[in-house]
């Protein structure tokens, strides 16, 4: 017993020293390392606060956070969609943050109403069309994608993807479940092929002629246009972006965002990191490095994104709604056979 106790104490001291270093903050991130590390390094350089990082799938990290309970080392939970942040909040894993910097930088519909999470960047789910085979006047709204004129012409990825789930969740929020189900069934009927590949693959499919239009996240197109890979640039020039629903509620957007964990030990540092991420420098970095839209007003988008037309009309739906209707959306996808 005594040895066991000594061992435990020794182990905890060992673990303790690693984690109790003066200035640090621990981050669970669903954003991949190469899309966040440079920003974190800049933060460390400016503040002297070290950032420890684990990346992974949002749901898995969420589970880890939950299981680790009050002893979790994580101070900050970062996702690339609003739905998971909502789930984290519902599970009682986040805590409210009082910060004027955050509330001033992030518009109300892009943050939790109790200030438990905040958007850090935006992406629009846009329609990409073939310059050769589609005139932009033919396009109008997400709802129009169920029109028989698109039969056999639409490419869109599988419904296992969170961005499709969020898009459908927004339709559930706007039109109700029954209308959203009719929409999903209509899109399935118009698909050029069963869903496969990710968003980049959909853009390429439009370029090669497998389909005429595709629904993708905006930054994929930006990254393809600026790719070092010639075949990606070649594919990107054959297509053009279209922002749907400009005549009514605006194009569907999703966010990457973060919240401070309920049991954070480095709460102040976590808040500083959040504030840094909505600051001008970081916002510009999101825009420049990954062609996302900044959440903070007045920060420039990348030249490529500007060329698509900016600002455009955005759906002002409260981001929390995407989380609330996520399960409904997945069940609809299952029912209509959108795999």
Partner 1 sequence: MAAALAALVVMTPILTVLGYLFHPGTGTWQHLADTVLGDYIRNSLLLMAGVAFGAGSIGITTAWLTSMYRFPGRRLFIWALLLPLAFPAYILAYTYTGMLEPAGPVQEWIRTTFGLRYGEYWFPEIRSIGGAMVILSLVLYPYVYLLARAAFLEQSVCALEVSRSLGCGPWRSFFAVALPLARPAIVVGLSLALMETLADFGTVEYFGVSTFTTGIFRTWYGLYDEVAAAQLAALLMLFVFSLILLERWSRRQARYHHTTNRYQALPEIGLGRFSAWLATTACLLPVLFGFLLPVAQLGLWALRTWREMVDAGFYTLAANSFALAGIAAVIALLLALLLGYGRRLHPTPWLRALVRTAGMGYAIPGMVIAIGVLIPFGWLDNALDGWMRDHFGISTGLLFSGTIFILLFTYLVRFLTVSLNTVEAGLGKIRPSMDEAAWSMGHGKAATVRRIHLPLMRGSLLTALLIVFVDVLKELPATLVLRPFNFNTLAVRTYELASDERLADASSAALTIVLVGIIPVILLSVTIARSRPGHAEPA
Binding mask 127-146 for partner 1 (x = CB under 8 A): --------------------
Neighbours of 183 (CB within 10 A): 21
Could you tell me the two tokens for 226? Answer: 């600026």
User: Please, which residues bridge with residue 314 across strands?
Assistant: 251
- Binding residue for partner 1 (CB under 8 A) from 80, 93, 120, 195? 195
11 near partner 1 (CB under 8 A): yes
Length of the chain: 339
Stretch that binds partner 1, among 14-22, 245-253, 281-289, 302-310 (CB under 8 A): 14-22
Tell which one of 148, 228, 247, 298 touches partner 1 (CB under 8 A): 228
Q: Rule CB under 8 A: is residue 6 a binding residue for partner 1?
A: no
Which of 131/339 has CB closer to partner 1? 339
Asked if residues 300 and 131 have their Cβ atoms less than 8 Å apart, the reply is no
Based on the shown chain and the rule CB under 8 A, indicate whether residue 107 belongs to the binding site for partner 1: no
Q: Which is nearer to partner 1, 22 or 137 (CB)?
A: 22
The tokens for 305 are 């994104």
| Nearest distance in Å: CB 276, partner 1 | 19
Residue 180: name the closest of 203, 159, 161 by CA. 159
* Tokens matching residue 176: 């109700």
Least distance in Å: CB of 327 to partner 1? 5
185 scored as a contact of partner 1 (CB under 8 A): no
Contacts of residue 176, Cβ cutoff 8 Å, sequence gap at least 6? none
105 is a contact residue toward partner 1 (CB under 8 A): no
Determine, following the binding rule CB under 8 A, whether residue 152 of this chain makes contact with partner 1. no
229 binds partner 1 (CB under 8 A): yes
Distance CA 312, CA 295 (A): 14
Classified as helix, coil or strand, 220 is helix
Among 113, 131, 306, 335, binds partner 1 (CB under 8 A): 335
Nearer to partner 1, 33 or 114 (CB): 33
Question: Please, what is the minimum distance in Å from the beta carbon of residue 55 to partner 1?
Answer: 7
Do the Cβ atoms of 128 and 216 come closer than 8 Å?
Answer: yes
327 binds partner 1 (CB under 8 A): yes
Q: Is 289 in the site for partner 1 (CB under 8 A)?
A: no
56-61 long-range contacts, CB within 8 A, separation 24+: 56/28, 56/29, 56/30, 57/30, 58/30, 58/84, 58/162, 59/84, 61/28, 61/29, 61/30
Quick check: 213 binds partner 1 (CB under 8 A)? no
Q: Which residue of 23, 33, 114, 248 would you call a contact of partner 1, by CB under 8 A?
A: 33
Q: Which is nearer to partner 1, 154 or 162 (CB)?
A: 162
> What is the full DSSP assignment across 63-102?
HHHHHHGGG----EEEESSHHHHHHHHHTT-B-----HHH
Structure tokens given for 210: 């497998």
Q: Under the rule (CB under 8 A), what is the footprint of partner 1?
A: 8-9, 11-12, 15-16, 19, 26, 32-34, 52-57, 59-61, 63-64, 67-73, 87, 158-160, 162, 165, 194-198, 200-201, 204-205, 207-210, 228-229, 231, 235, 326-327, 330-331, 334-335, 339
């Amino acid at each position: 017993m005594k040895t066991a106790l000594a061992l435990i104490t020794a182990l905890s001291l060992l673990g303790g020293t690693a984690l109790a270093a003066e200035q640090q903050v621990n981050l669970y991130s669903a954003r991949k390392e190469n899309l966040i590390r440079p920003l974190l390094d800049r933060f460390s350089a400016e503040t002297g606060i070290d950032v420890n990082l684990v990346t992974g799938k949002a749901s898995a990290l969420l589970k880890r956070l939950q299981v680790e309970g009050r002893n979790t080392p994580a101070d900050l939970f970062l996702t690339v969609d609003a739905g998971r942040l909502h789930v984290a909040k519902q599970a009682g894993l986040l805590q409210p943050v009082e910060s004027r910097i955050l509330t001033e930088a992030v518009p109300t519909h892009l943050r939790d109403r109790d200030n438990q999470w905040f958007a850090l960047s935006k992406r629009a789910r846009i329609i990409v069309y073939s310059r050769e085979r589609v005139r932009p006047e033919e396009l109008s709204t997400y709802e129009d994608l169920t029109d028989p004129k698109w039969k056999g012409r639409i490419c869109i990825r599988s419904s296992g993807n969170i961005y499709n789930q969020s898009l459908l969740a927004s339709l559930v929020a706007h039109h109700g479940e029954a209308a959203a189900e009719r929409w999903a069934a209509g899109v399935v009927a118009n698909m050029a092929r069963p869903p496969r590949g990710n968003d980049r693959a959909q853009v390429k499919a439009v370029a090669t002629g497998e389909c005429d239009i595709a629904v993708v996240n905006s930054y994929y197109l930006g990254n393809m246009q600026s790719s070092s890979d010639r075949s990606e640039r070649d594919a990107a020039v054959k297509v053009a972006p279209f922002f749907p629903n400009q005549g009514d509620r605006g194009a569907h957007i999703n966010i990457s965002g973060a919240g401070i964990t309920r049991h954070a030990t480095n709460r102040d540092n976590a808040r500083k990191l959040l504030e840094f991420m909505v600051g001008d420098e970081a916002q510009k970095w999101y825009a420049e490095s990954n062609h996302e839209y900044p959440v903070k007003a007045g920060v420039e988008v990348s030249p490529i994104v500007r060329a698509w037309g900016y600002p455009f009309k955005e759906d002002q739906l409260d981001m929390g709604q995407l989380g609330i209707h996520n399960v409904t959306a997945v069940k609809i996808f299952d029912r209509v056979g959108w795999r």
